[in-house]
Amino acid sequence: MKIMVVGGGGREHAIIKSLRKNKEITEIYALPGNGGMTGDAICVNIGAKDIEAQVKFAVENKIDYAVIAQDDPLALGAVDALTEVGIPAFGPCARAAEIESSKVFSKDLMKKYNIPTARYEVFDNSADALKYLETAEIPIVVKADGLALGKGVTVAMTREEAMNAVKYAMEDKVFGASGEKIVIEEYLEGPEVSVLSFTDGKVVKPMVSSMDHKRAHDNDEGLNTGGMGTVAPNPFYTEEIADICMETIFLPTINAMVAEGRPFKGCLYFGLMLTKNGPKVIEYNCRFGDPETQVVLPLLESDLLTVLKATTDGTLAETEVKFSDGAACCVVMASDGYPASYKKGFEITMTDAAKEFTYCAGVREENGKLYTNGGRVLGVIATADNLKDAVKKAYERVPEVNFENAYYRKDIGKRSLSALEA
């Protein structure tokens, strides 16, 4: 069986490694993939946004199943285009992907269907937004409507900061069309939980919960990043909270999308905040999270391809989705200076063992050698029976990977371990 995976980061590497456990799969192509994956997939130089080329490649190479892992191709209709030529593909159609690509759409959906989220207002011009901010309660959160590489959200602790965020998006147009509309929403507090789920539009099967560490530096200081590390499961997400989320958030969301004529198939990611008034949705993503996938998929005991296909075929109810009782930790090794400015092009060396427990992201290959090629270079992963051991093992593995200018957080999992001990 021939599979193609669209995307090129650590998440895609984790998906590919998990798919490789299925012995019926003979070839995996990564479009474009990255140089660090070459032992696991055949990288094809087709960009994640080039839908036309993806479809052509899939047809010419008789791909049996496509996995669209990244947000842009989903928003651009990769799944629709592949389905049209008879190639089944994992992920939502473009209309359903709007749950991530438009914050205005997702907030209005939650309001209409009573799904708990932060109170909000939508603005399409800066004058009204700035006027609103003059009397709004601070702290407050300003979000660009569209996709903005994870940089469209400002959690403003002062009125000035909030006003600057509005000007940045609407007057300086830093996010282009993504900032033509903005959402200004209530500031929420509480532990954050990521819950990725499989859904075929009818049933929803949550994966093991996880916790991202978004800030660049230890103790959650520094700039927001794409994610500096993850642990799974997330100890704040108890069984009782999981039940509440299923009833008040997960099922209502799946049903709302059906009612709107946009049934969602694929991986729906719930970014939740556990507030003192109950769990609330911070954001939806229409895809696997990065670096959440790097800790969630190593704990999946069921065959990944079988589950992915069940979401496409509408047979998820009859398909087992089983996770181990263990735990996992991912420590992201980044280029020093990320997410602001950083140097790249340094040679990466790693032990043979490390090739098995690293998921590559910003990595390039040349003449058999690996070089850093991005901010987040790779993730070092470990699984164990419990979280404490998984964290310990991941950090013990970090020295097995070396490159100049390497930077990583020293406290991934610390907050979760404290919660377990409390």
Binding to ligand GLY by CB under 6 A, coded x per residue (else -) over 114-153, reads ----------------------------------------
Q: What are the E-state strand segments in 200-343?
A: 204-206, 211-212, 215-217, 221-224, 229-232, 266-275, 278-285, 327-335
Closer of 376 and 397 to ligand AMP (Cβ): 376
The residue count for binding ligand AMP (CB under 6 A) is 14
Binding to ligand AMP by CB under 6 A, coded x per residue (else -) over 129-148, reads ------------x-------
**Single residue of 8, 206, 229, 289 touching ligand GLY by CB under 6 A:** 289
Beta carbons within 8 Å of 367's beta carbon, 6+ residues apart: none
Count of positions (residues) in the chain: 422
* Closest among 21, 20, 64, 12 to 43, alpha carbons compared: 12
Residue 285 contacts which entry, ligand AMP, ligand GLY, none (Cβ below 5-8 A, type-dependent):
ligand GLY
Q: What is the smallest separation between the CB atom of 328 and ligand GLY, expressed in angstroms?
A: 15
211 near ligand AMP (CB under 6 A): no
- Residue 318 burial by CB count (10 A; 0-12/13-18/19+): exposed, middle or buried? exposed
- Whole-number Cα distances in Å, 143 to 70, 132, 192, 343: 21, 15, 18, 29
294 near ligand GLY (CB under 6 A): no
Site for ligand AMP, residues 170 to 189, rule: CB under 6 A: 185-188
Query: Residue 309: how many CA atoms within 13 Å on its side-chain side?
Result: 11
Site for ligand AMP, residues 247 to 306, rule: CB under 6 A: 271, 282-283
Q: Which helix (H) or strand (E) holds 304?
A: helix 304-313
Stretches 77-85, 164-172, 237-245, 289-297: which one binds ligand GLY (CB under 6 A)? Answer: 289-297
192 near ligand AMP (CB under 6 A): yes
Q: What is the smallest separation between the CB atom of 71 and ligand GLY, expressed in angstroms?
A: 8
Q: What is the smallest separation between the CB atom of 183 and ligand GLY, expressed in angstroms?
A: 17
Q: What is the smallest separation between the CB atom of 68 and ligand AMP, expressed in angstroms?
A: 20
Cis peptide bond N-terminal to 191, omega within 30 = no
In sequence order, the β-bridge partners of residue 120 are: 185
- Decide if 2 contacts 59 (C-beta within 8 A): no
Distance CA(281)–CA(118), nearest Å, equals 7
**Single residue of 80, 185, 212, 365 touching ligand GLY by CB under 6 A:** 212
For binding to ligand GLY (CB under 6 A), which residues are involved? 212, 227, 285, 289-290, 292
